[in-house]
Structure 1
Amino acid sequence: MLKKSYYLIIIIIISSVLAGCGDGSSGDSEAKGDNVNDSKWAEIQETGELVVGTSGTLFAASYYPKGSDKLTGYDAEVIREIAKRLELNVKFEIIGIDGLLAAVNSNRIDVAINDIEITDERKKKFSFSEPYKYSFTSMIVRSEDLSGIKTLEDLKGKKAGGGATTVFSDIARHFGAEVKTYSNVANDVYLQDVANGRTDTVINDYYLQKLALKAITKFDIKIHPDLKFHPTEQGIVVHKDANKLMKKMNEALQEMREDGTLAKLSKKFYGGEDVSKKPEAQVREIEGLDL
């Protein structure tokens, strides 16, 4: 895979986040019990390898630093640590955000991790780990006039840059915006389009947008100062039937939370911020948004 420059690898998570914020539990209640399906877990144990899908272009979750061909980032290091505690090796598969869930469903990969938001709709088809990240949603707008957006309702008739299948694009459409879709492109493409008026905004995770603007300063844009909305929880995705694998990963995550590993990794990649705990900001819930 081609190495990514620091300034070209930051892509706004349109995920998933990866919404309709999840309840913080596994997508399958049996994953916490003793009578769990162990076929996937047995397969992984036999190979000694956990196959992980991620985009590799999402700073600070999953990216290639300048001059390096080793994948890193908060998500990448979280899953590496989980695998280490489960005595497994990790094999990363680089897949665009819109293809990650399909890859889990087809068993091309064992798990997906890429700032993917836990939603009720997604939990019908997949299992999610306990959250390893908590956040909320914000939007990048032009500095001069906030792109004509004072409230979320002002999104009607505006153009929002985003991924085709992400929660953030669903939010934009919910308020009447037209979504201009992108594939697995770097963040500077999104930001440039807002700055030059090709789009009006990019809706995404607050922490990711904050880091993006810190890294790319050549455009006259900023995070909207007044709009904080849609609280989110991000989790690791596995196949709906991989109950024992999920149970094992949740146990490892709990250990990492208790011994401070999650907080340490978060602060390393998010500029000293601890995204492993819920933010204290006042965040607007969006009514009538079916995710």
Structure 2
Amino acid sequence: MKNYKKILLAAATSLALSTGAMAADKLRIGTEGAYPPFNLLDANGQAVGFDLDIAQALCDKMGAECSVVLSDWDGIIPALNAKKFDFLVASMSITEERKMAVDFTDRYYSNGLQFIAPKSVDFKVDAASLKGKVIGAQRATIAGNWLEDNHGRNVSIKLYDTNENAYLDLAAGRLDGVLADKFVNWEWLESDAGKDFEFKGDPVFEDDEIAIAVRKGNKQLVERLNKALQEIREDGTYKQINDKYFPFDIY
């Protein structure tokens, strides 16, 4: 009887440990859903895009069951720290200010900022040429911050909740130009809406690394994600995802 009780106890302990492991491997991905081609909503309201494909590939490597939680960009770090989700895959740039609030993984792509404007306009990106122009950017991004830091005195800056709204105003003639991530601008320029617009000048900022954010101190999750990132880089999964969205390497 004692042996039988020990067997039952061992079985119960094993089940509890197994259940705990399964629970630990259910992770929630936070994203914005308004930043094509990196994250956007499809016709069914599901989050799709480069960010989500990368996130799912990482979940597969980690053996985790992952779900997606949407958040407005302005509140996305507070939502992460409020435990609305476990890690954030939303094309977030690593900045010193953000590193005070969250921890970052290694980069999963590199980025830069570049102006776009109508093809018909002689648009230069030096301070004298930009003076008096109305330039749009997304709020709480390095593009908006760069404009304010470098041209806050000579440019009228309009900040938007999403890049999509900035593009709408550009197409409607309410903006002289938009400054945004070059790959997001490239996606819009390839669309029908962007056919009369083009890049202007060289990128103004290229030292931009995009990474996954996790809550401060969650070293274990950072290490798991970094290991998975290395694995998808090595086995060709990353390249397959990259080539699905871009005809060039964005790593």
* Structure (1 or 2) with the greater strand fraction: 2
* Superposition TM-score, scaled by structure 1 size: 0.72
> Percent identity among equivalent residues?
24
Match of 1:49 in 2: 26
1:178 aligns with 2:156: yes
Answer with 1 or 2: which has the greater Rg. 2
1:90 aligns with 2:66: yes
Distance of aligned partners of 1:254 and 1:219 in 2 relative to their CA distance in 1, 3 Å threshold:
closer
The Cα shift of 1:246 comes to 0.4
1:206 pairs with one of 162, 167, 182: 182
| Root-mean-square deviation (Å) | 2.1
Match of 1:155 in 2: 130
Identify which of structures 1 and 2 has the higher relative contact order when contacts are C-alpha pairs closer than 8 Å and 6+ apart: 1
2:143 pairs with one of 149, 160, 168: 168
Amino acid at match of 2:250: V
Instruction: Report runs of 4+ in structure 1 exceeding 4 Å deviation.
Output: none
Q: Helix, strand or coil: the match of 1:109?
A: coil
Q: Distance in 2 between matches of 1:204 and 1:58?
A: 11
* 8 Å Cα contact 1:82-1:253 kept in structure 2: yes
Q: Helix, strand or coil: the match of 1:78?
A: helix
Q: Distance in 1 between matches of 2:142 and 2:125?
A: 21
Structure 2, gaps ≥5 residues long: 1-19
Match of 1:273 in 2: 248
Match of 1:61 in 2: 38
Match of 2:17 in 1: none
Q: Helix, strand or coil: the match of 1:107?
A: coil
Aligned length: 228
Match of 1:230 in 2: 205
* 8 Å Cα contact 1:75-1:114 kept in structure 2: yes
Q: Deviations 1:191-221 (Å, cap 9, x if unpaired)?
A: 2322443222211111111111111346632
Amino acid at match of 2:203: K
* Superposition TM-score, scaled by structure 2 size: 0.82
Pairs within 5 Å for 1:182-261: 182-184=160-162, 187=164, 189-217=165-193, 220-224=196-200, 226-231=201-206, 232-261=208-237
Distance of aligned partners of 1:123 and 1:252 in 2 relative to their CA distance in 1, 3 Å threshold:
same
